[in-house]
Amino acid sequence: ELGVESPIIVASSRERSLLHSVQDMGNTMGLCLIGGLQKPLRLDSLSAILRNWGSVADKRKLAAHALPITPDELRTGIDRGEIVVHYQPQIAVTSGDVHGVEALARWKHPTLGIIQPDQFIPMAEEHGLIHKLTLQVMNEAMLQAATWNAHGLNLSVAINLSPMLLESPNLLQEISGLQQCYGLRAEQVVLEITETSLLRDLSVALAVLTRLRLRGFGLSLDDYGTGFSSMQQLARIPFTELKIDRSFVHGVHERESVQVMLRSALEMAMRLGLNTVAEGVESLQDWWLLQEYGCMFVQGWLMSKAMPATDVMHWIQSHEGRKLDFRAQGAQAV
Ligand code: C2E
Ligand code: MG
Ligand code: MG
């Protein structure tokens, strides 16, 4: 009747952290938590939750609906230059200053509009298109960084590297070539590798990443907390930055068990001398907690979603006025 294919859970608890755990459990089991109820069960509160579910379910069905795109179309799109780069700011937690941006690929499809990377990066990886796509993203992002440099805006630029590219023999020359061509300092360019990708072949990853590091590039371990990297692996690869996954950041101020994990990840990174970035910051309360825990940089919708390069300058100007609010309120809260 609810129009969902998988079963749903109505958990009998109002305790938020417990509900979060039930939600996580449900997600891993393919179930879906739609709300919390107190015992004894009341028909009116159950009806309210089910009514609310109707609209959420519709939105989810739309989002889950795979787009009608083919690998050939993606190939043509890449050749026609339809892959564009949006930039999401990274902000220093204590000062509120803009420190850098992450370059995120978007596909400007002629009829479907802007397509998000989750819909086409896996396809690009599967059909041998990721190399060409990444070179385009790197070229555009480094050119943009050079343009900002010329305007006196020194931003680091983070670029996502697919694990497959680590096996590509020319990668090192290609990245260095672009960085030199645009006159960037190597430290200005940060290459992000997801934690899960390290598990593919650690020795290959180690060789390429060490060479990149020797040339001065920044190396960030992306989505930290979603894989199972050991301390030993972390210590062997010369990362400069630990980027903590959104699942340990979003709503952390009301999730006590997650606070413990977040805090220990930040402490470990600090001891290893790494920069720390928290992604997925959507509330001031989470920002304040990150400030209290000593996280260095934050990235998230609280500050801004990823945006086209043309909007970045204007956003930075408007952020100047807001950043004092973050700092002042954070100082009071801690
Ligand atoms: P990622 O590298 O972990 O990038 C962060 C993702 O989190 C981005 O999604 C960003 O828009 C989203 N995000 C940032 N702040 C918030 C927040 O406060 N709340 C929520 N809910 N989300 C937030 P996006 O742009 O859809 O990218 C998804 C993933 O696609 C990226 O995850 C990255 O793994 C991959 N990707 C994007 N561009 C490229 C690329 O050029 N090459 C490769 N290999 N992968 C890419
Ligand atoms: Mg990333
Ligand atoms: Mg990430």
Residue 13 pLDDT: 65
Confidence of residue 54 (pLDDT cuts 50, 70, 90): low
For the chain, what percent of residues have pLDDT higher than 70? 82
3-state secondary structure at position 11: strand
Number of residues assigned to the chain: 334
User: Tokens 């598990």 identify what position?
Assistant: 199
Ligand 2 center from residue 249 Cα (angstroms): 15
* pTM of the predicted protein model: 0.85
What is the residue with the minimal CA distance to atom 46 of ligand 1? 160
Residue 65: what are its φ and ψ, rounded to 5°?
-70, 115
Question: 216 exposed, middle or buried (CB, 10 Å; 0-12, 13-18, 19+)?
Answer: middle
User: What is the per-residue pLDDT across 282-315, written as a single tens digit (0 to 9) for each?
Assistant: 999 999 999 999 999 999 999 999 999 999 999 9
* Contact of 284 with 317, CB cutoff 8 Å: no
Residue 334 pLDDT: 43
For 305, other C-beta atoms within 10 Å of its C-beta total 10
What are the pocket residues of ligand 1 if the criterion is a CB atom closer than 6 Å to any ligand atom?
88, 104-105, 116-118, 121, 134, 137, 160, 162, 192, 222-223, 246, 279-282, 299-301, 306
What is the residue with the minimal CA distance to atom 44 of ligand 1? 162
Closest-lying ligand 1 atom to the alpha carbon of residue 161: 44
Residue 244 pLDDT: 96
Residue 43 pLDDT: 82
Residue 50 pLDDT: 75
Q: Which is more confidently placed, 261 or 232?
A: 261
Residue 40 pLDDT: 74
For 290, other C-beta atoms within 10 Å of its C-beta total 27
Q: What mean pLDDT is predicted for residues 48-58? A: 68
What is the residue with the minimal CA distance to atom 21 of ligand 1? 280
Ligand 2 center from residue 91 Cα (angstroms): 15
Nearest-angstrom CA–CA distance, 208 and 152: 32
Which residues, 6 or more positions from 65, have their beta carbon under 8 angstroms from its beta carbon?
A: none
Closest-lying ligand 1 atom to the alpha carbon of residue 133: 41
Ligand 3 center from residue 75 Cα (angstroms): 25
Q: Which is more confidently placed, 200 or 157?
A: 157
What is the residue with the minimal CA distance to atom 42 of ligand 1? 160
Confidence of residue 31 (pLDDT cuts 50, 70, 90): low
- Token digits of residue 7: 């079963």
Residue 302 pLDDT: 95
Residue 30 pLDDT: 63
Q: Strands 98-109 and 113-115: what pairing? A: antiparallel
Which residues, 6 or more positions from 48, have their beta carbon under 8 angstroms from its beta carbon?
A: none
Ligand 1 center from residue 222 Cα (angstroms): 10
Ligand 3 center from residue 21 Cα (angstroms): 21
Confidence of residue 115 (pLDDT cuts 50, 70, 90): very high
User: What is the per-residue pLDDT across 56-78, written as a single tens digit (0 to 9) for each?
Assistant: 665 555 555 578 899 999 999 99
Nearest-angstrom CA–CA distance, 280 and 283: 9
User: What is the per-residue pLDDT across 153-166, written as a single tens digit (0 to 9) for each?
Assistant: 999 999 999 988 99
Confidence of residue 1 (pLDDT cuts 50, 70, 90): very low
Mean pLDDT, the chain, whole residue set: 87
